[in-house]
Amino acid sequence: MKRAWWIVLVLIGVAGAAWIVHARSSRPPEPKYVTVAAEKGRLVARVTATGTLSALVTVQVGSQVSGRISDIFVDFNSPVKKGQVIAKIDSQLFVAAVEQARANYLAAVSQLTKAKVQSIDSGRQFERSKALRDQKLIAQADLDTAQATADAAKANVDAADSAVAQARASLHQSEINLQYTTIISPTNGVVISRAIDVGQTVAASFQSPTLFTIAEDLKKMQVDTSVAEADVGKLKSDMPSTFTVDAYPTERFKGKVRQIRNAPQTVQNVVTYDAVIDVDNTELKLKPGMTANVTFVYAEVPEALKVPNAALRFRPPASAMRTDGGTRGPGKGLAGGKRSHDQPPDQRTVYVLRDGNPQQVMIRIGVSDGSITEVVDGPLAAGDLVITEALGDKPGAPAASPFRGGRPF
C-alpha cells in the first residue's frame, strides 16, 4: 500500500515538473535590443548629384552649302579669333553658278532695254495713227490696233523689269553661296571638336552639318547637375558647392549655384532638375565633358544632439507589446501605434532602453544628413541608449512595421 502511494507521488511530481518545463518553454523569450547612444557633435546636411562640365558658351560651326572640303586651317585645341578662316569648301561649282547667274542678269537687262525701245516705237505709232484718225484717213479699227500694240509694249517693259529683278536676286544668292564656301569662326575661343577632314563631302540639304565646336573661354566653365525633385527645394541661387572629377580624385573643386532651371527632365519616371554651377577653371585642369560628383551643403549644426535614423523607424516587436498597445516595464501605458494626423510633421517617437525595457520618448527633429538626425527638443539627453533594432523575437509572431508611428526620414 505504501509502495502504491509512493508511485502516485512520483507520478504527480513528474507531471508537475513537466508542466513547469512546458510553461517556461511556451513563454515568449524576452527580446534583445540593439542600442546606440545619443551623442552631441557636428551635423552637416548635404545633397549629392552628378553633372557634366561644359564651357559657358559653346558654338557649333556648320556649313550652309554642300560640297567637298578643300582646306582645313585649324585642328583640335587650336585657338581662333572671330572672323578667322578655319576651313574652305571647293568653290569651283559655286564660281560657275555665279558666272551663270551674272550672264542671266545681263540677258535680262538686255531684254528690258529691248522692251523699252519697242514700247517707245509702239507709242509713236499710236500717236501717228491717232493723228491720221483725226483726219479721217484711217479706220477706227486701225487706231484701236495701234493702241493695243502700244499697251502690250508697256506691259512687256514691266515684265522685263521683273525678270531683271529676279535675275539680280539669283545673282546675289549665288554670290552669298560662294561666300559660304569659306568657313569662318563666329567667335573667339578654342576648337574643342573637329568633325571633318580634307576631301570629305558635307551635305547641307536638310540641316546644317556641324563641322567644328568652339568653346569661347575654358577658364570659366559650368556644371549642369541633375538634382532629384525631392532635393531641389533645398537648393537656392548663390549656394556654394564642391565637386570632384575622376581625373583628380584627391582634389575638390569649388563652385557656386547660378540658377535652378524650372524645366523638368523625366527619365524612366524619375523627375530631375538642372542646377547650373559656375566654376573657375583658371588652371585649365577641368575639361568639357568631365563627370562631376557634386555636393551641396544646405544646413550645418556645429553642436547637435544626434540620433540614428534607424531609431526613428524602430517600434517594439510583438513580444514586447501589451494587449492594450503599451510596452512592458517603465514605458507601459504609452501608445505604440501610428502617429496621429494632427501631430506636427517634425515630431517623432524613439524608444530608449531603461532598466532593460523600451520606453517611449517623443522628440522634435531638425536637420538630417540621411542617416543621422538632429534632436531639437524632447526628454532625450546625450548618452541615452536609443533602440535601433530588436533581436530574439518569438518566431512566427507578427513583426511591427518599421514605419509605424512616423514616416521614414
pLDDT tens, the chain, 409 aa long: 556 656 656 667 666 666 565 555 555 566 788 889 999 999 999 999 999 999 999 999 999 999 999 999 999 999 999 999 999 999 999 999 999 999 999 999 999 998 989 888 888 888 888 888 788 888 888 888 888 988 888 998 899 999 999 999 999 999 999 999 999 999 999 999 999 999 999 988 767 788 999 999 899 999 999 999 999 999 999 999 999 999 999 999 999 999 999 999 998 899 999 999 999 999 999 999 999 999 999 998 999 999 999 999 888 876 665 444 445 544 443 434 345 556 678 898 999 988 888 899 999 999 888 889 999 998 998 988 999 988 854 443 333 333 333 333 2
Find cell 549665288 and name the residue: 174
Position 145 scores a pLDDT of: 87
Pick the CATH number of 91-180 from 1.20.1260, 1.25.40, 1.20.140, 1.20.58: 1.20.58
Kindly list the distances between the CA atom of residue 190 and the CA atoms of 72, 74, 182, 245, in Å, as whole numbers in the listed order: 15, 10, 19, 22
Q: How far apart are CA 50 and CA 294, in angstroms?
A: 6
Burial of 2 from C-beta contacts in 10 A (0-12 / 13-18 / 19+): exposed
Q: How far apart are CA 349 and CA 389, in angstroms?
A: 14
Nearest one of 51, 35, 8, 26 to 253, comparing CA atoms: 51
Nearest one of 267, 387, 382 to 315, comparing CA atoms: 387
User: Given 3-state DSSP classes, what are the helix, strand and coil percentages for the chain, each rounded to the nearest 5?
Assistant: 30, 40, 30
Using the CB atoms, write b or e for 311-325: b if 16+ within 10 Å: bbbbbbbbbbbeeee
Using the CB atoms, write b or e for 263-297: b if 16+ within 10 Å: eeeeeeeeebbbbbbbbebeeeebbbebebbbebe
Position 261 scores a pLDDT of: 94
Sequence length of the chain is 409
> What does the domain layout of the chain look like in residue ranges?
47-56+216-300, 91-180
Position 329 scores a pLDDT of: 45
Position 326 scores a pLDDT of: 47
Burial of 211 from C-beta contacts in 10 A (0-12 / 13-18 / 19+): buried
Position 316 scores a pLDDT of: 82
Find cell 520606453 and name the residue: 359
Q: How far apart are CA 378 and CA 359, in angstroms?
A: 14
Q: Give the CA diameter of the chain.
A: 181
Pick the CATH number of 47-56+216-300 from 2.40.30.170, 2.60.120.380, 3.30.413.10, 1.10.3080.10: 2.40.30.170
Position 315 scores a pLDDT of: 85
Position 391 scores a pLDDT of: 80
Position 141 scores a pLDDT of: 86
pTM equals 0.65
Q: How far apart are CA 234 and CA 237, in angstroms?
A: 11
